């Protein structure tokens, strides 16, 4: 039985799974849940497929480099450190820059600085470091600075369980920094996705001028799988739009049809002001009610008008499903297995994997809730995404399976809930 095409919000573009924004071919085939190594090599001209045995963290490095990332600033933390270590080796070779900063606050600051100077930038951390990044993450939201932040989730709160997986930072990823703010949160379940969704994360960041949080977890980060790295020609890589007007006409925060103003690189002649204060379209601080409203509403609108391509989900055996599992991250793998087990027992089960967690893929979830008699949301926390699912509609019963003991939820546990 083959995997189904990823479900989409945007029905006008039926061709690809994660359409539009830079999904490599492996993603476009919609085989999210399958390890691409089992697929035939896609590259016909270049005969040697780049088949590699990689850890999730390593695949993220490859994805970032393929997306054009040339700056990394970070601070060591388990279970994310491999990303720093590999970046420190790879970036200098690619004419990029790696720096280990004095803490995660500084790392986030440096990432924003490098992005303002025109370089695609990444940092990677885990819970405690992610908490420290929230201040400058808010700055990146407010000043609309593209960047990608990987959070390899471990058991929390506080120092928690450094070497155990968890999914406790989902709400922090959405709401960790203060104030209403636009942000995109993606999640990965396989090593192949660590590559491909990292590319997508950079593409979204650049296209929408917004920080993108990429949630991984200790299981995905440290699992080794065979994947085929796509040739660079197969990748769609998006770069921020730079101003085309003469410098004296440039308004760094002016509205347009997409709500995403062109972004000038510092030093390119488009001198302007960048601040975390609410600003007018020239970037100057303002407290004028009309200007404040215009800016902040545009910042939200630029994301909501992109829902169609941002809200990525993947479906498995959902067409005739009467019971559905909605899962993300490593748990989605257990869920897929549980669905197969249920099908063997004659239960019409299916899986909706959430790749995008925020903006919450409401439309795809709504469809599943309307279709099914029961929905199960397993996650390694006390129930963060299940609350979002329950908010969508109340026509369907929603059951939760939660673990917070540092253990991955097993297929058997999910299967049991399905059979109930």
Binding residues for other proteins (CB under 8 A) = 71, 73, 89, 92-93, 95, 97, 99, 101-103, 105-119, 121, 135-136, 139, 265-269, 271-277, 282, 284-285
> What does the block give as tokens for 149?
């932040």
Q: Of 44 and 248, which CB lies nearer to other proteins in the complex structure?
A: 248
- Return the number of the residue (78 or 88) whose C-beta is nearest other proteins: 88
**Which residue's CB is nearer to other proteins, number 72 or number 195?**
72
Provide the minimum distance between the beta carbon of 77 and other proteins in the complex, in angstroms, as a whole number: 17
Could you tell me where the DSSP H helices lie in 284-384?
289-304, 307-310, 330-344, 362-371
Secondary structure, 3-state, 314-333: EEECCCCCCEEEEECCHHHH
The whole-angstrom separation of Cα 150 and Cα 169 is: 12
Residue with tokens 């930072």: 169
Nearer to other proteins (CB atom), residue 253 or residue 316: 253
Q: How far apart are CA 308 and CA 328, in angstroms?
A: 19
State in angstroms the smallest separation of the CB of 99 from other proteins: 6
Phi, psi of 75 (to 5 degrees): -140, 135
Separation of alpha carbons 293 and 280, rounded Å: 10
Tokens of 227: 């994947």
* Contact criterion met (CB below 8 Å) for 198 and 67: yes
Nearer to other proteins, 119 or 347 (CB): 119
Element (H, E) at 87: helix 81-93
Contacts of 81 (CB under 8 A, 6+ apart): none
Nearer to other proteins, 103 or 405 (CB): 103
Q: How far is the CB of 189 from other proteins (least distance, A)?
A: 31
CB of 272 vs other proteins, minimal distance in Å: 7
- Tell me the C-alpha distance between 299 and 183, whole Å: 10
What's the min distance (Å) between Cβ of 325 and other proteins? 41
Strand, helix or coil for residue 16: coil
Beta carbon of residue 132, minimum distance to other proteins (angstroms, whole number): 11
Q: Residue 297 Cβ, how far from other proteins at the closest point, in Å?
A: 22
Q: Which is nearer to other proteins, 177 or 203 (CB)?
A: 177
Closest CB to other proteins among 7 and 136?
136
> Which residue lies nearer to other proteins by CB, 272 or 340?
272
| Alpha-carbon dihedral sign for residues 216, 221, 227, 229 | positive
Q: Which of 290, 216, 225, 297 is nearest to 255 (CA)?
A: 297
Q: How far is the CB of 268 from other proteins (least distance, A)?
A: 8
Q: Which of 260, 388, 412, 250 is nearest to 313 (CA)?
A: 388
> In the bound complex, what is the minimum distance in angstroms from residue 114's beta carbon to other proteins?
4
């Amino acid at each position: 039985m083959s995997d189904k095409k990823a479900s989409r919000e945007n029905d006008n573009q039926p061709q690809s799974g994660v359409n539009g924004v830079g999904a490599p071919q492996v993603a476009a085939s919609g085989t999210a849940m399958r390890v691409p190594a089992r697929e035939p090599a896609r590259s016909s001209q270049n005969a040697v497929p780049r088949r590699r045995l990689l850890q999730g963290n390593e695949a993220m490095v490859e994805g970032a480099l393929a997306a054009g990332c040339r700056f990394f600033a970070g601070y060591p933390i388990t279970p994310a450190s491999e990303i720093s270590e590999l970046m420190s080796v790879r970036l200098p070779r690619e004419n990029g820059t790696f720096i280990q900063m004095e803490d995660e606050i500084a790392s986030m600051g440096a990432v924003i600085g490098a992005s303002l100077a025109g370089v695609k930038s990444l940092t990677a951390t885990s819970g405690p470091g992610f908490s420290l990044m929230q201040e400058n993450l808010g700055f990146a939201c407010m000043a609309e600075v593209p960047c990608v932040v990987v959070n390899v989730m471990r058991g929390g709160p506080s120092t928690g369980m450094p070497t155990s997986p968890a999914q406790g930072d989902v709400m922090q990823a959405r709401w960790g920094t203060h104030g209403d703010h636009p942000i995109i949160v993606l999640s990965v379940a396989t090593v192949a996705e660590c590559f491909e969704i990292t590319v997508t994360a950079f593409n979204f960041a650049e296209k929408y001028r917004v920080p993108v949080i990429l949630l991984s977890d200790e299981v995905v980060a440290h699992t080794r799988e065979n994947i085929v790295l796509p040739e660079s020609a197969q990748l769609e890589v998006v770069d921020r739009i730079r101003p085309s007007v003469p410098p004296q006409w440039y308004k760094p925060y002016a509205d347009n049809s997409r709500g995403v103003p062109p972004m000038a690189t510092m030093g390119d002649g488009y001198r302007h002001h960048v601040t975390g204060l609410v600003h007018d379209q020239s970037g100057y601080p303002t407290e004028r009610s009309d200007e404040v409203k215009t800016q902040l509403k545009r910042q939200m609108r630029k994301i909501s008008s992109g829902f169609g391509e941002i809200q990525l989900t993947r479906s498995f055996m959902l067409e005739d499903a009467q019971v559905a599992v909605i899962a993300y991250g490593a748990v989605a793998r257990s869920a897929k297995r549980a669905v197969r087990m249920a099908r063997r027992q004659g239960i019409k089960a299916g899986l909706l994997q959430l790749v995008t967690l925020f903006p919450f893929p409401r439309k795809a979830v709504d469809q599943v809730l309307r279709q099914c008699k029961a929905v199960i949301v397993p996650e390694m926390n006390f129930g963060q995404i299940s609350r979002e699912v329950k908010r969508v509609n109340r026509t369907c019963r929603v059951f939760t399976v939660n673990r917070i003991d540092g253990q991955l939820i097993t297929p058997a546990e999910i299967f049991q809930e399905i059979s109930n």
